[in-house]
């Protein structure tokens, strides 16, 4: 199946510091990534990423998620994204599981980045799990979001070594540098309409 977003308008969802969002915004500003950030949505009022987005003059929305039914919250997020004519949703440190309401509104239209080489170490604290397990290489993964935890079809990965001297912070930083590079590349691939999905495999056409 060929993936072809209807336009190049991105909706960014974040809950924290927003360094991936900022890297994407920088790539767009420098003309290396042809896309528009239509809206930045956060469920955390104090998220640094939200402030970074405001400083850039982007459209931002804070939508509290606490004590709300997952489906109700997701329905509202979808409404905002549709209102802004978003065709590709980019999760950038968005700390929530998406319900069917959200997934069905954007089939193969939601991307996530994870700080490990999936399917190893899904979920939270991936870098600490990586160190505890003792693997010698780690990295990051950009994937389509489906109804499994960090389990959707993989678009791009990058590898970094795990050093004996690493702690979670130094490993996270090394991985983050690669995250900032491959997220924009993966977004570009998806927007370009060159991605084809067959089962779990995402193939890139020339
Ligand atoms: C990143 O490590 C990303 O892989 C994970 O959440 C973190 C978000 O960092 N999904 P930032 O908010 O983009 O700086």
Mutation test residue for ligand 1: of 13, 23, 41, 115, the one with most atoms within 8 Å of CB = 115
Task: State in Å: Cα 199 to ligand 1 middle.
Answer: 27
**Cα 26 to ligand 1 centre (Å):** 16
**Neighbouring residues of 125: CB distance < 8 A, sequence distance ≥ 6:** 168
Query: Rounded mean pLDDT of the chain?
Result: 97
Q: What percent of the chain has pLDDT over 70?
A: 100
Ligand 1 atom 5, closest CA: 93
pLDDT, one tens digit per residue, over 137-169 is 999 999 999 999 999 999 999 999 999 999 999
Give the Cα separation of 92 and 60 in Å (integer).
14
Is residue 143 part of the annotated active site? The answer reads: no
**pLDDT score recorded for residue 195:** 97
Percent of the chain whose predicted confidence (pLDDT) is above 90? 100
Whether residue 25 contacts residue 90, with contact meaning beta carbons closer than 8 Å, is answered with no
Q: What is the pLDDT of residue 64?
A: 96
Q: Which atom of ligand 1 is nearest to the CA of 114?
A: 4
Distance between Cα 92 and ligand 1 center (Å):
6
Any residues with Cβ below 6 Å from ligand 1, and which? 14, 16-20, 49, 92-93, 113-115, 179
Atom of ligand 1 nearest to the CA of 91: 10
Q: Is 56 a residue whose pLDDT tops 90?
A: yes
**pLDDT of 206 strictly over 90:** no
pTM: predicted TM-score of the whole model, two decimal places: 0.98
Please report the sign of the dihedral spanned by the C-alpha atoms of residue 54, residue 56, residue 191, residue 176. Answer: negative
Q: Which ligand 1 atom is at minimum distance from the Cα of 23?
A: 13
3-state secondary structure at position 180: helix
Q: 63-93: per-residue pLDDT in tens?
A: 999 999 999 999 999 999 999 999 999 999 9
Residue 178 has pLDDT above 90, yes or no: yes
Question: From CA 29, how far away is CA 158, in angstroms rounded?
Answer: 23
- Residues sharing a CB contact under 8 Å with residue 145, sequence separation 6 or more, in sequence order: 91, 98, 103, 110, 111, 112, 152
Residue-range domains of the chain with CATH? 7-107 (3.40.50.170), 112-206 (3.40.50.170)
């Amino acid at each position: 199946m060929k993936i072809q977003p209807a336009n190049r308008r991105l909706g960014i969802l974040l809950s924290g510091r927003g360094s991936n969002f900022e890297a994407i915004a920088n790539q767009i500003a420098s003309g290396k990534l042809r896309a528009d950030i239509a809206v930045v949505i956060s469920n955390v009022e104090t998220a640094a990423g939200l402030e970074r987005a405001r400083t850039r003059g982007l459209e931002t929305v804070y939508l509290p998620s606490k004590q709300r039914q997952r489906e109700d919250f997701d329905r509202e997020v979808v409404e905002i994204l549709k209102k802004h004519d978003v065709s590709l949703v980019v999760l950038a440190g968005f700390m929530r599981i998406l319900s069917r309401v959200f997934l069905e509104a954007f089939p193969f239209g939601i991307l996530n980045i994870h700080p490990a080489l999936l399917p190893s170490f899904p979920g939270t604290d991936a870098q600490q799990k990586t160190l505890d397990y003792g693997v010698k290489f780690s990295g990051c993964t950009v994937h389509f979001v489906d109804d499994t935890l960090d389990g959707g079809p993989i678009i791009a990965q990058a590898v970094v070594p795990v050093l004996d001297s690493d702690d979670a912070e130094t490993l996270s930083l090394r991985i983050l540098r690669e995250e900032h590079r491959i997220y924009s590349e993966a977004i570009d691939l998806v927007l370009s309409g060159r991605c084809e999905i067959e089962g779990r495999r995402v193939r890139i056409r020339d």
